[in-house]
A and B are shown apart, each in its own frame.
Chain A
């Protein structure tokens, strides 16, 4: 199964093997934690010189998802840029690429802890977004209802194999990180088990999706 469809409130959502979430009824594609420009930020702050190709890799996968779904709206769930400087330092080709992807569709940048301010790329910039009763924000809140968020980069391990994953229960969905240079936080870690209900599910991603009970990972 390439994608895992699941009901969420009154809506039907699809967790895609790429790590993107597709809401077909509204034509909305959601991706979280792109961390574009991560290598630039690390180098700028005196860290190591990572291969500076993660932005183009992330954008090419995002482009493929937009093409595959025909999304009319794209919501980036925060930490789209590794910091605001990373956005300003984008290579002109990468900037043009993003503008090309944005053209002809609604594009919403949700603020993340890495990228709190507006960018000059256009689109809409929001702290959070409400659509048809669903709330899109970067970090899950304790009392969140019908809430979709990112931030934690959840990953799970089944049969000894670790993969990034979606987590969902009746109240919230937490998306995996879509960016190329991202690691993961164990789905069973304290902070995530504090958020997710015991009957939650994890959807592991990669070549295809795998659904398991949250308690099994």
Chain B
């Protein structure tokens, strides 16, 4: 067992602290090439990651970068710097700790490259940027350790893939580099270890004591949840009681819009004026900073929040987590519960608030899953090629490279260890000349081979590459400000698509207040405060979680069992009502309901096939309906059902589900749909085909920029085999298009379709009307709507069309 040096031991002793066993284990394994530590929030995980560094550096370390710490959040890097500086100062160590994020000043960044600190805290994007500079080998030559915090979150997205490519480069620059990953509880730690390790190095997994089982239950309310609705406002009296009974409560919502609506309603009911704040990703940085500071200062009794608080600062005094809306994913629920960690070794406490009756079933299923320790998760495929294209550009910006060496290096990254040379070469060609069948750019090569090495033809390209680093592709957002002569306070951001639907006088919710849209000024929405009580609903992007397949299986099982004793009476009643009015979904059968609602014909298909497959089913069915002249307008999918609306009802919905018809032209249809175009845009931005919008450029030339849909259509028509089309198809298949599961479902059902024609919305279908993520169909119905709207506008103006 490695003993602590006296100056650290004394520090522990002075506080009467003992090392946790996992902290000791991390010290013992300090020389291992890679280690993954799985520990609950508040288990001293960060200290465990840094102890070996403090021991190795000693009291009077030599200059030079020793440890790199990477976190998914800027705020976390800031926070860790504060938390690390205190013990370092108290131990009297001469160790320099600095952070480097998008917020770090130009001067500091420059100085850090010339004279790096011993410990540098940064984000994946800032690391990629550092590696794009020619002096990267000098900066990182002596690097000993890298600590990746919250690696479970990074591994779920392309940010993690990019980070692993960067670690691979770091291992080339610093062959002795050792890697540490810090993770919350995950379902498959071995897969995460493979992801982290330098391939094929081993990576041991250490488990910290998970602590006592959480105290988790449904929140009991006097009023039953409504038949439909996503807000959970019915539970506000009960939630306020809980807030009063606890020190600090985090109230999680699944979407930003729901958080806004809930927060607004909560304030109206908050008679004691308890200090309660709101925090989500669409609010301005200033607003979020204020909430975080108030939280750290212990001034808040509750924060209404979204996934923006899933990660980040450990607020010691949170003693209750309330989850409003079904948790969608058991793993994320467990991680959220861990936020209520006011004392290590005390059980964290959480209460679930289903937003409507369907979610009651889902919440009960999730509770069972948590008690069974049955975590869910989707395995991600191999590292995506758009990220690799960007990585090749970053490497080229740094220095000339040999294709063979870079290929070998890339294959040492976990997510890319199966990469083929052919795919690598395609990415290289794409970066060099665009990779088009029509070789139009051979004369403009971005990369050129000189000798055996690839390099930038024009070194000035490097700065352009640096401006486009990163794998987070936001939808187009527009800032919202209070109207004021000299530019009022920033309130946050809304999606451009939402902004486009606003007319002067419309009201919406942002940051918990109702505002009135006044107009557009230099791509900023100007608003004034408004005191009306019913806003036009804010449509923020808000991360949409898909319920895991495992959880939807549990739900289907519960419905099917017919034993609803675990459910509250109101929910059992609801299911009974569904049974009376329509039918209940059954395994090996497929329930389809049709009904009119709000002037539109609706068709609801309960496939219980998981959101991806239901989404695909929606796309396929609407295509069939389009062909049949039924004028579908759009659809929305959940893990359980797909709801389609349009102008006409299908007389025999079962006939639309012919497998042969669906398979016919599947690929052709796939190429034209909105999901593919959305996926394409993300890939094109990451791969560098589309440059990120910088504020100045957007302002100057709106007519010079055009939609990425045009690029997609052009490629589809003239160069369908292009690398980016291939990447788009792969990712759409993986993420959204699960055709195989549709086939399985239809085979299982084998024509046993229960079609129920109703004259109104069924109990089971009602919640679907509130789902986010509606997909419009750009077909004949859209043209019909345009024609109607145009006629109405002409008539309103007293003009003949």
Q: Tell me the A residues contacting B by CB distance below 8 Å.
A: 39-40, 43-44, 46-54, 56-57, 91, 152-153, 157-163, 177, 180-186, 189, 204, 207-208, 210-213, 215-216
Contact = CB atoms under 8 A, between A and B. Distances in A.
B710 interface: yes
Nearest to A214: B797
A116 B711 CA distance: 27
B704 interface: yes
Given A49-B444, A56-B718, A216 B797 contact: yes
A153 B710 CA distance: 15
B185 to A, nearest CB: 42
Contacts of A157: 500
A204 B703 contact: no
B684 to A, nearest CB: 9
Given A53-B718, A57-B714, A57-B718, A213 B441 contact: no
B711 A50 contact: yes
Given A48-B691, A153-B703, A159-B785, A53 B797 contact: no
B770 interface: no
Chain B, interface residues (CB within 8 Å), range: 35 or more
Nearest to A49: B434
B438 to A, nearest CB: 5
Nearest to B715: A51
A210 B464 contact: no
Contacts of A185: 702-703
18 contacts: A40-B440, A46-B458, A48-B689, A48-B690, A51-B434, A51-B436, A52-B438, A157-B500, A158-B786, A158-B790, A180-B710, A183-B703, A183-B705, A184-B702, A185-B703, A211-B790, A211-B794, A212-B793
Contacts of B689: 48-50
B797 A91 contact: no
Contacts of A162: 500
B719 interface: yes
A44 B441 CA distance: 9
B440 A161 contact: no
B1 interface: no
B706 interface: yes
A185 B706 CA distance: 10
Given A48-B688, A159-B785, 10 more contacts: A43-B434, A43-B441, A49-B441, A57-B717, A158-B793, A159-B786, A183-B704, A189-B702, A204-B790, A216-B796
A183 B501 contact: no
A161 B460 contact: no
Contacts of A177: 703
B506 interface: no
Contacts of A212: 789-790, 793-794
Interface in B690-706: 690-691, 702-706
B707 interface: yes
A182 B434 contact: no
Contacts of A161: 782, 785-786
B783 A208 contact: yes
Contacts of B704: 183
Given A161-B782, A212-B790, A182 B703 contact: yes
Nearest to B444: A43
Nearest to A151: B703
Nearest to B431: A49
Contacts of A44: 444
Contacts of B108: none
B460 to A, nearest CB: 7
A160 B702 contact: no
B702 A183 contact: yes
A167 B436 CA distance: 37
A189 B714 CA distance: 28
B566 interface: no
Contacts of A211: 790, 794, 801
Interface of B: 433-434, 436, 438, 440-441, 444, 446, 458, 460-461, 464, 500-501, 688-691, 702-707, 710-711, 714-715, 717-719, 722, 782-783, 785-790, 793-794, 796-797, 799, 801
A56 B436 CA distance: 14
Given A49-B689, A53-B718, A180-B714, A152 B438 contact: no
Nearest to B799: A213
B793 A52 contact: no
Contacts of A54: 714
Contacts of A57: 714, 717-718
A73 to B, nearest CB: 27
Contacts of B787: 210
Nearest to A91: B440
A14 to B, nearest CB: 16
A69 B785 CA distance: 29
A167 to B, nearest CB: 14
A204 B782 CA distance: 13
A113 to B, nearest CB: 12
Given A53-B438, A91-B440, A204-B786, A184 B703 contact: yes
Contact of A213 (B460, B688, B797): B797
Given A160-B500, A210-B786, A181 B706 contact: yes
Among the interface residues A43, A182, A207, which one has the most CB atoms of the partner chain B within 10 A?
A43
Given A51-B722, A57-B718, A183-B705, A213 B434 contact: no
B463 to A, nearest CB: 10
B782 to A, nearest CB: 6
A211 B793 CA distance: 9
A161 B786 CA distance: 8
In the A-B complex, the 3 residue pairs with the closest CB atoms: A49-B434, A52-B440, A183-B706
Contacts of B706: 181-184
Nearest to B711: A51
B801 to A, nearest CB: 6
Contacts of B433: 49
A51 B711 CA distance: 7
Nearest to B800: A211
Among the interface residues A44, A158, A162, A182, which one has the most CB atoms of the partner chain B within 10 A?
A158
Contacts of A215: 797
A78 B703 CA distance: 15
A54 B801 CA distance: 34
Nearest to B778: A161
A182 B714 CA distance: 13
Contact of B446 (A49, A50, A51, A208): A49
A210 B785 CA distance: 11
B785 to A, nearest CB: 5
Nearest to B438: A52
B358 to A, nearest CB: 29
B389 to A, nearest CB: 11
Contacts of B438: 52-53, 91
A129 B790 CA distance: 33
A178 B238 CA distance: 60
Contacts of B715: 51, 53
A181 B797 contact: no
A40 B436 CA distance: 13
A72 B801 CA distance: 30
Contacts of B782: 161
Contacts of A180: 710, 714
A46 B797 contact: no
A160 B446 CA distance: 39
B537 to A, nearest CB: 15
